[in-house]
Structure 1
Amino acid sequence: MVNLYDYVTRFLDSYTEGASKNSTNAIRTGTIINNIHDYAQDYLVSVGVPDSYIVRDRKCEGFFKPKEQDILVTKSIHRICKNPEISINVRSQMSSIQKNFDTLFERLVAESVNLHEKYEDLPCGYLYLIPTVGLDSNALKQGKIITKERFNLEKYINCFLKLAARKSSTDDKYKYEAMGLIIVDVKEDGSFSIVDDLEYIFSIGRVSWDFFLEYRDNFNDLNPFNTMNTLLNVYDSRRGIRNIVR
């Protein structure tokens, strides 16, 4: 069984180790986030998608320009993929979260539009990992986990919901068929939980009561435990799952 918790555990262990060693290179080069890439790939394999159909870090032809995708399901053998079946991208931000919001959101919209303008029925998925409270980067360098940055989590949730749940190939091209927001509640002893319940986020004071009431019904659209299954169900409805599953 492919368990998201196992991969997030490895991600957090690698992240704190890299930070404590002052290894900015490990954090920035993708070595650590590869743990979440592994989750997506292993999930695909577990349901019968052949390894030979799964490629990582390959450019895919888009409407505006070829753009590297973290994970592609494709039968294409070309250096630049021209026949994608599924696209999945993965990102994380554990500190300095608020100041990077504009860049993040612009990139999210640009990536989905670039693909959907070219391939209207392409199932696109996104996994994004953030903490409930941003971590103190200086403390991490000393091997300590201290939660510090109370960034605007409502803004993140609201914007991710606007990009989630693209229901059909005629739906807005800036949306993603499956969007998983992996919100981790990290404790100072290193333990963590993956939050898929907006009521819990309200209970720890990270969203307001009014926000909870407005978004509690839609919050499940961001449930990271459902993301991969949702993506495959969309693919099945549009192209037929037997096209990629043996």
Structure 2
Amino acid sequence: MSLTIQQCLVNFKSLIENAILTGGKKGITSAIRSSTPILNIHEAVKWEFVQKGVAAVRIFPPLDARKPELKLAGSLKQKHQDVCIIPARLSPKEEVMTDGLLKGVKDAYGKTFTERTISINVRSQMSSLQKNFDTLFERTFSEAQNLHERCPKMCLGEVYMIAVPEYDDRQFDANNIVLKKPRRQVVEQYIRSFLSINNRHDTKKHFYQYERVCLLIVDFTQNPPKLYTSDQELKDAGLLAEDSDMSIASLNWDSFAASLLAKWEERFGKSGKAG
């Protein structure tokens, strides 16, 4: 049975809010560190690719599992990837890195296999949206930079979820679920920033960009949680100015997986063996 993004958001909300109610600040911190809530969004990503025709055997970690993650090597470091789609007709080939910070390090997959693997990061920010923004955004584009510098044709995706309104972390100690009134400027900052690293087309530059970014803007005060899917919905909610020229059309969930698969096929062909 497949999972939809809506089902996964319901599960996420339940886990986050139960952690606050039963454990307060320690409870929510423990839940986040366990990754259990965000793994629901990982599953939504996996199932979205299955719905677009990707064979489940190509997805890592497998459906309904958190391991094994692929540890892929970029130019500066090796890192476990949240969700990967491996090429169908290509096998890993171990090689030893020959330059840079990873010189002499074994790469279990090899550059060719790595470059033809679709890798998707999944992140979320439920509180302190503005306070932590710079650090989190820098981390986001540094991940793309690391992989693209070594594998410039690699197709990378980023799914980033924010709670709007955001949870008030000052209330966690009292086991209270309080969501703060959203600020339009913060929402616009996220949209503007993620647009700047979205839709990478030129494989010779813009290594910090992703081939496709999905920004999930979610209202967890509603039951079930409300995922904003259009500019008009954001404007109706007062989260975008009526005359705003910003748009989430190229950041939406519905076209995320299809866009990444189309870009991959454009670069590597249906077999994944194109130059």
Q: TM-score range by the shorter chain?
A: 0.7 to 0.9
Aligned match of 1:161: 195
TM-score (structure 2 length as normaliser)? 0.78
Pairwise CA distance, 1:2? 4.8
- What is the identity, as a one-letter code, of the residue corresponding to 2:14? D
Q: Say if 2:140 is the partner of 1:128.
A: no
Please give the residue correspondences for 1:13-92 in structure 2 after superposition, counting only pairs within 5 Å.
13-22=14-23, 23=27, 24-56=29-61, 57-74=69-86, 75-76=91-92, 80-82=108-110, 83-84=113-114, 85-92=117-124
Query: CA RMSD of the aligned region, Å?
Result: 2.4
Q: Say if 2:255 is the partner of 1:226.
A: yes
**Counterpart of 1:32 in 2: which secondary structure?**
helix
Structure 1: gaps spanning 5 or more residues: none
User: What CA distance in whole angstroms lies between the structure 2 residues aligned with 1:2 and 1:167?
Assistant: 30
Number of aligned positions between the proteins: 239
User: What CA distance in whole angstroms lies between the structure 1 residues aligned with 2:21 and 2:271?
Assistant: 46
Q: Say if 2:204 is the partner of 1:170.
A: yes
TM-score (structure 1 length as normaliser)? 0.86
Structure whose CA Rg is larger: 2
Alpha-carbon spacing, 1:133–1:43, altered in 2? closer, same or farther (3 Å):
same
Alpha-carbon spacing, 1:51–1:137, altered in 2? closer, same or farther (3 Å):
same
Alpha-carbon spacing, 1:145–1:113, altered in 2? closer, same or farther (3 Å):
same
CA contact (8 A) 1:20 1:141 kept: no
Calculate percent identity across the aligned residue pairs. 31
Please give the residue correspondences for 1:174-185 in structure 2 after superposition, counting only pairs within 5 Å.
174-185=208-219
Deviations 1:119-153 (A, max 9, x none): 11111001011122211235566665432153511
Structure 2: gaps spanning 5 or more residues: 62-68, 95-106
Alpha-carbon spacing, 1:98–1:81, altered in 2? closer, same or farther (3 Å):
farther
**Counterpart of 1:41 in 2: which secondary structure?**
helix
Alpha-carbon spacing, 1:145–1:225, altered in 2? closer, same or farther (3 Å):
farther
- What is the identity, as a one-letter code, of the residue corresponding to 1:194? L
